[in-house]
Amino acid sequence: MSSSRAEIFGKIRQALVKPRPVHHHGHPPAPADLSQLFASAASRDGLVEKFRREFELVSGEFVFCDNNASIFEFLSQLIQSSTTTRIAVSRHPICQRLSIAKWLQDRMPGTSLLVEEIESENPYARERLRNAMAQVQLSITGAEYLIAESGTLVVAAGSQASRQISLLPSIHAVLATADQIYPNMADLFLEIQKKYGAKLPGSALTCITGPSRTADIEKVLIKGVHGPTRLITIMVG
């Protein structure tokens, strides 16, 4: 126990002996129930359409693919139109289920493929992965959850995906399914808390709402500052 810690806690406890004054104009008690505070965004009807609308409002690109053929058609067009040669694929279950890596290997011979399959406890392997990822133009990953109210994708760091795969490449394509969509953040967070308790999954959860952006120079909106310039949701039907 450092002396600074003891001193800070001492000061806090001493200060809190004096109660906070009752507010002179008062604050009406607000509902402590989280869902009530999100009531206007609680409907479960048309979640895919709602997500698409919000996602496009934040400059995300949305595509609905109801079979494997249409997913691959979309990807091959994306690769060609963006003249992408270096692609990374995460080991997210949805990428594995759709055999994205295998398809790229077989059908996109002109591209080099980075699969996040490394000995994770070997620092040199991690260093190599990181250096390779810095060269990637397009990454294909899966989402954990989606939030309709704000058009948000939630990704988790773990053994199935790195943190950097959704960050370093200039185009990030995310595979998702309709059953992953929650109406709002409150519903999702209550669900996560029910499932994981005090120990959140992985070291980092990230909510992604549109491509990286800035308006720091004269409020001019620029997409793609440090993270991806393009963010794509591929809704798998």
Residues 157-186 that bind another protein (CB under 8 A): 157-159, 161-164, 167, 184-186
Nearest to 46 by CA among 189, 207, 154, 183: 183
Gap between the Cα atoms of 202 and 196, Å rounded: 11
Q: Determine which residue in the list 65, 66, 79, 213 makes contact with another protein, applying CB under 8 A.
A: 213
Contacting another protein within 40-59 (CB under 8 A): 40, 54, 58
Write the DSSP symbol of residue 177. E
Sign of CA dihedral 150, 156, 161, 164: positive
Can you tell me which of 95, 200, 232, 234 binds another protein, judged by CB under 8 A? 200
Tell the smallest beta-carbon distance from residue 123 to another protein (Å).
9
**Candidate ranges 44-52, 75-83, 100-108, 211-219; the one touching another protein (CB under 8 A):** 211-219
195: contact with another protein by CB under 8 A: no
Q: Measured between alpha carbons, how far apart are the two ends of the chain, in Å?
A: 55
Which of 32, 81, 106, 124: binder of another protein (CB under 8 A)? Answer: 32
Question: Which of 13, 45, 69, 109 is in the footprint of another protein by CB under 8 A?
Answer: 13
- Check binding of 5 to another protein (CB under 8 A): yes
Q: Which of residues 105-124 bind another protein (CB under 8 A)?
A: 116, 118, 120-121
E-strand ranges in 35-151 read: 61-65, 86-89, 112-115, 138-142, 145-147
Q: Where are the beta strands (DSSP E) in 16-108?
A: 61-65, 86-89
